[in-house]
Amino acid sequence: MFDQDVLDHVNAEHFDPAYHEQQNNLRGQAQGRGTTYFITLAESLDCVLRHYRRGGMIARFTDDKYLWADLEQTRAWREWQLLKLMIEKQLPVPSPVAAHVHHKGLYYTADIITQQIPAAQSLSMLLSSGDMTDALWRQLGKTIRRFHQQGIYHADLNAHNILIDDSEQFYLIDFDKGYLRKPSSAWQQSNLDRLQRSLQKLKDQNSNGFHFSLHHWGALLQAYSSGS
């Protein structure tokens, strides 16, 4: 599937990094759970190509295969639909460009291509290189609140999955396993706790080079709670 307003066609090779390298459309890559590739489509559209990979203990047995049920239950389909919904709700997320599911026997593999957020870096990168003002921490709190109010659950809310661009706009990315659910203080607090653990872990690993403190977290929570 693909956005026909952006591309006039798509096929399996569009999801192959080697193809983009041959076409001189591969601009770079980044390591996370797997490798994220930065590519250019349609001559000038900067995009991100991501192959779905397992995490946790199960990754020891199968790196990228998922049990097949039907197309609408695949990771790629569900993330595509969730991104479309969030864009309709005017939430700051990348636009989906194309998705690919390869079904074979009992299993499938999948990929997704999204538009790249221009001139953006992850929250983890920003805090590794310098401090962030209280005003920006409050803005981040308000941004997360917007998602939670709409019932958007990000299953892996951490400092690597939050971007900030050069106009100081925050975005959430990588909604693999994310879904829409009824707003509830229980899961919303758990989501915030996950982000705090992520930030504290990076702080512990880089005690002198990662700019995060309880004061910063307090600014985020204050804006999250009040909405202002």
Show which residues are catalytic.
156
Q: How far apart are CA 125 and CA 139, in angstroms?
A: 18
Angle between helices 185-205 and 134-149 (to 10 degrees): 140
Tokens of 103: 């079904």
Strands 96-104 and 162-165: unpaired
Cα separation of 30 and 27, whole Å?
Answer: 11
Nearest to 67, CA basis, from 39, 101, 24, 94: 101
What is d(CA 152, CA 143) in angstroms, rounded to the nearest whole number? 12
Q: Which two tokens stand for residue 87?
A: 């864009």
